[in-house]
Amino acid sequence: MENEKKISDIKKEFEAADYDMLPSFIEEYCLDDRVGVLKLVEAAERKLDRHIFELKRIQGLKKYELQYWDEYDYICGIDEVGRGPLAGPVCAGAVILPKDCDILYINDSKKLSESMREKLYEEIYDKAVAVGIGLVYPETIDEINILQATYEAMRQAISQLDVAPELLLNDAVTIPGVDIKQVPIIKGDAKSISIAAASIVAKVTRDRLMVEYDKLMPEYGFAKNKGYGTADHIEALKKYGPTHIHRKSFIQNFI
């Protein structure tokens, strides 16, 4: 028919449609018998199904927050990264999300691609009520041990928040020396949206720092290995010796 829209124009409509517009797009074109249009309708249905699935997943990730939001306005998720590397600091993140948080795709930072972590990092900083970061460096790690250094990083992160939290949701631990009600959650970065957000902020912060170290000390591959004990990193450590960012208590078996 002469008045039929061109498939290329319908494709542009699909590409421009946000999730709220997809149902009407599907309804409008589902009876079109052109193969190209039907493929676009199928793509729209898949995209909508993925979006609905993600909305449900995120709602499930708010389980602990929903349990406490009636009683507390400012619930803070706490998580750390970098307990295991041979080099670099341990980093903790603290994030207070708003009750109407609409950030999708938040997850345990280990389950996300680098590009998705970077995108979510920016969105979390943009939409969070408050974000805090704590960093404890190798000299202190060697002095007080990695567990105590992790607690110290978490306390630092809490202290950096612009808004005082009323409740802490922690990934597995109870932080000593903190006079705020705490709820430790095993594998919390996969069960709590606040803890998952904190894990993303901590991971991106630490990764960016290791990339900067790589520019100063390229022999060790810090941009790629982030300080973890990969074969190439250990080989470089044996060849060039330790740097000031290596944890002496972690590398005794390699030098």
> How would residue 2 be classed by pLDDT, with cut points 50, 70 and 90?
very low
Tell me, yes or no, whether 56 and 161 share the same domain. no
What is the CA 237 to chain-centroid distance, rounded? 30
Q: Give 133's pLDDT tier (boundaries 50, 70, 90).
A: very high
| 41 and 71 assigned to the same domain | no
The answer on 184 and 140 residing in a single domain is: yes
Q: Are residues 153 and 88 in the same domain?
A: yes
Tokens linked to 107: 């997850």
Structural domain boundaries, residue 14: 7-61
pLDDT at 254: 87
126 lies in some domain: yes
Task: Answer yes or no: do 50 and 115 share one domain.
Answer: no
The answer to whether residues 184 and 77 belong to one domain is yes
Where residue 87 falls (left for φ over 0; alpha for ψ -120 to 50; beta otherwise) is beta
Instruction: Give yes or no: residues 89 and 154 share one domain.
Output: yes
Tokens coding 81: 């990264």
Average pLDDT, the chain: 96
156 and 193, same domain (yes or no): yes
Closest CA to 133 of 76, 69, 213: 76
Report pLDDT for 3.
Answer: 53
Burial class (CB in 10 A: 0-12, 13-18, 19+), 127: middle
Alpha carbons 203 and 115: distance in angstroms, whole number = 12
Tell me, yes or no, if the pTM score tops 0.75.
Answer: yes
Asked if 70 and 103 touch (Cβ cutoff 8 Å), the reply is no
- The answer to whether the CB of 228 falls within 8 A of the CB of 244 is no
Residue 16 zone, left/alpha/beta (φ > 0; ψ -120 to 50; rest): alpha
Predicted local distance difference test score (pLDDT) of residue 137:
98
169 and 91 assigned to the same domain:
yes
Pair 30, 41: CB distance under 8 Å: yes
Same domain for 167 and 184?
Answer: yes
Q: What is the pLDDT of residues 65-108, one digit of tens each?
A: 999 999 999 999 999 999 999 999 999 999 999 999 999 999 99
Q: What is the domain-level CATH number for residue 97?
A: 3.30.420.10
Same domain, 171 and 56: no
Q: Would you state the pLDDT for residue 1?
A: 46
Residue with tokens 């803890």: 195
Do 109 and 19 share a structural domain? Answer: no
Q: Is 80 exceeded by the pLDDT of residue 139? A: yes
Among candidate residues 70, 64, 241, 149, the one with its CA nearest the CA of residue 255: 241
Write the pLDDT tens digit of every residue in 163-178. 999 999 999 999 999 9
Domains in the chain, number: 2
